[in-house]
Amino acid sequence: MTGWLHHLIIAPILLPLLASALMLAFDERRRVLKRWLSLGASALLILNAAALLWFTSDAGSAGATGPHVYLLGNWPAPFGIVLVVDRLSATMLLLTNVLGFTGLFYALARWDRSGPRFHALFLLLLMGVNGAFLTGDIFNLFVFFEVLLAASYGLILHGSGTERTSASLHYITINIAASLLFLIGVALIYSVTGTLNMADLATRIADTPSGDLALLEAGAAILGVAFLVKAGVWPLSFWLPRTYAAAAPPVAALFAIMTKVGIYVILRLSFLLFGEASGDAAGFANDGLLYAGLATMAFGIIGILSARQLTRVAGHYVLVSSGTLLAGLGIGGQPLVAALLFYLVSSTLAIGALYLIIEPVERNADEEDMIAGIAEPVFDDEYVGAIEEEEDETGVVIPGTIAILGGGFIFCALLLAGLPPLSGFIAKFAIIDALLRAGGVGPMNWTLIGLIIVSGLATMIVMTRAGIDLLWTPAEDAPARLSLVEVAPIGLLLAVCLALMLGAGPVMAYLEAASAALHDPAGYVAAVGNAAAGAQP
Amino acid sequence: MELLLSLAIGVLTASGLWLLFRPRTFQVILGLSLLSYAVNLFIVAAGRLRSDAPPIIGKDTASADPALYADPLPQALVLTAIVISFATTALLLVVLLASRGLTGTDHVDGEDGEA
């Protein structure tokens, strides 16, 4: 990456910032302008992320492999703050911005009108998430976390209402508390090592005197708790399903990536700081991640089965997804991490699509269904009667809306449950395969495999029940209207999942390279260390 | 001075945590504020306690002895942390008022249990 292309690394942060700043200059009546502005910025972000993905791949880097480093203010690391883009960051960026674009598109249907400054806040949230994926400095990470959290506080309140205000009160409180833990962790790590640059930390941790190691590990553990709160790990996750259910659908879809920010940071820091090269501190807290992940999965599965609303099902599925990733991370191993990354991408897209499709699906159900929820017995006697009566008819006419929604819903269910042939199946198959191939398959591997399969079964049961209850029983009244603006983004997300399935080979190869780079932090450290000032335009 | 500072951090943290677990929203906000004061002091302490030491080296950088200077980084970090926690607390205060107006109670769950 030479010349002006180098600035593509900082563009995912600057572009949404400038666009949202510009938007504040116009008042709410210029809605059309704002829509075009935010959609345009968001589409450019996708292209930008795709370009970064290309430049970090083998084909695009033309031999010069390794992460690309951007020195802010042209100060050399570790004195200045660096932005680093490697395969993992580029993947996460593309995922974020695809979700962001679809969320924005979906919001055009009516959600952006239910409160002021939706577009500006949405773009600021994208900026915070992008920044968190790009930064190579722990304190800068804190700042981007606060940017994304502050924007998310605004978005969760978007649309107002008692439920949203009450849920956001809990959400804001727990996130401020987690941010304070973040700061304590950062301060402890700084007091032991004297640096905040991630690459510099990676080299200094190996030299930490054994007397200070306990303090360093305490700092890392406190830092880890802050990220685990974001990732929604049991028992720090009770706020998550309720908050996500209360949020407006496009906002909830984007929030699906926010738990993954926590996972990403744990992934990045545990390999950089506590990889095999870091001496006494190597492998710190891997067991803790494993058990916490398994507990989260179990909690999520129970939650999925007991949820009475589809939004709660989606919220608990977010927990299952986080739990799977963390438990897998606790076991570790290069092929397993690659499979986990594939699962991360696939499950995040599927959760986003599910949040978007829930609202139109539930709109079709009448008030009674909404309140009774999906816990009622579906195959009651009256339905048996209904089916028998229809025998003399030539066939049941399925309205177009129901056909589209039903199709999308089945697609989502298959993706989430991990049934063939979609990308969810490939992801789970790859994880289980990697778990079984690892030398010495321990009881924990079997537990994880069992939980993955049970979570798929639970998802399938609940989605089938909800589908029958809300979509596939003959309804008396005509189905609600469905606009193209709502269908298109859902279709886009599902199409990306389809593309993931069709292109699973190249995607897997890229992610395997990402996993290999994660397991070899020396490349990352060298790239940051060698990025000399003045070497870039 | 070390004892005084650590006692101050300890007292602030303890009272902040106690308030954080109270059922009234205003107590929760006060608790978060106290906690953020404690954390800010803690960050300063992480840069080692020094008095009478300037954080910025003057013009004669060649002859300056870094051991005579205080670490400037924690001070910059604290400044950022103060600004951010101030802003988020202010936002939480607005949400508190909105919640009070919508639910008619200042209980954190929006309803007053059996009490």
- Give the domains, in start order, of chain B with CATH numbers: 2-52+66-103 (1.10.287)
Of B20, B42, B80, the CB nearest to A143: B80
Look at residue B43 and tell me whether its pLDDT is greater than 50. yes
Residue contact B110–A162, C-beta within 8 A: yes
> How far, in Å, CA of A473 to CA of A407, rounded?
15
Compute the average pLDDT of residues B75-90.
90
The pLDDT value given to residue A385? 45
Reported confidence tier of residue A537, pLDDT bands at 50, 70, 90: very low
Residues 115-154 of A with CB under 8 A from B: 139, 142-143, 146, 149-150, 153
Give the Cα-Cα-Cα angle B2, B7, B8 (nearest 5 degrees). Answer: 100
Query: Helices marked H in A274-389 — which ranges?
Result: 286-306, 310-331, 334-364, 367-372, 381-389
A176 compared with A399, residue with greater pLDDT? A176
User: Residue A443, preceding bond cis, omega within 30 degrees?
Assistant: no
- What the block records as the tokens of A89 is 């960051």
Largest CA distance in chain B: 71
Mean of pLDDT over chain A:
82
Look at residue A417 and tell me whether its pLDDT is greater than 90. no
Please give the single-letter amino acid code of residue B108.
Answer: V
Strand partners, A70: A83
Determine contact, residues A525/A69, Cβ cutoff 8 Å.
Answer: no
Of A139, A142, A165, the CB nearest to B99: A165
* 3-state secondary structure (DSSP) of residue A471: coil
The pLDDT value given to residue A64? 55
Q: Considering only CB atoms, which chain A residues are within 8 Å of B25?
A: 169
The pLDDT value given to residue A288? 82
> What residue of A is the nearest CA neighbor of B37?
A180
Compute the average pLDDT of residues B89-112.
83
Look at residue A158 and tell me whether its pLDDT is greater than 90. no
Q: Considering only CB atoms, which chain A residues are within 8 Å of B85?
A: 176, 179-180
CB atoms within 10 A of CB B42: 23
> What residue of A is the nearest CA neighbor of B84?
A146
3-state helix, strand, coil in chain B (%, to 5): 65, 0, 30
Phi, psi of B107 (to 5 degrees): -75, 145
* 3-state secondary structure (DSSP) of residue A308: coil
3-state helix, strand, coil in chain A (%, to 5): 75, 0, 20
Residue contact B85–A184, C-beta within 8 A: no
Strands A68-71 and A82-85: antiparallel
Phi, psi of A137 (to 5 degrees): -135, 135
Chain B residues contacting A via beta carbons under 8 Å:
20, 25, 28, 32, 35-36, 39, 42-43, 45-48, 73-74, 77, 80-81, 84-85, 87-89, 91-92, 95-96, 98-99, 102-103, 108-110
The pLDDT value given to residue A184? 92
- What the block records as the tokens of A113 is 């009108």
Look at residue A275 and tell me whether its pLDDT is greater than 80. no
The pLDDT value given to residue A114? 76
Compute the average pLDDT of residues A36-53.
88
DSSP 8-class letter at A77: T
Lowest mean pLDDT among A389-403, A509-523, B43-57, B91-105: A389-403
Reported confidence tier of residue A200, pLDDT bands at 50, 70, 90: confident
The pLDDT value given to residue A277? 65
Compute the average pLDDT of residues B89-94.
89
Reported confidence tier of residue A127, pLDDT bands at 50, 70, 90: very high
Q: Considering only CB atoms, which chain A residues are within 8 Å of B109?
A: 166
Q: Considering only CB atoms, which chain A residues are within 8 Å of B47?
A: 190-191
Lowest mean pLDDT among A191-205, A208-222, A388-402: A388-402
A169: left (phi over 0), alpha (psi -120 to 50) or beta: alpha
Compute the average pLDDT of residues A397-412.
78
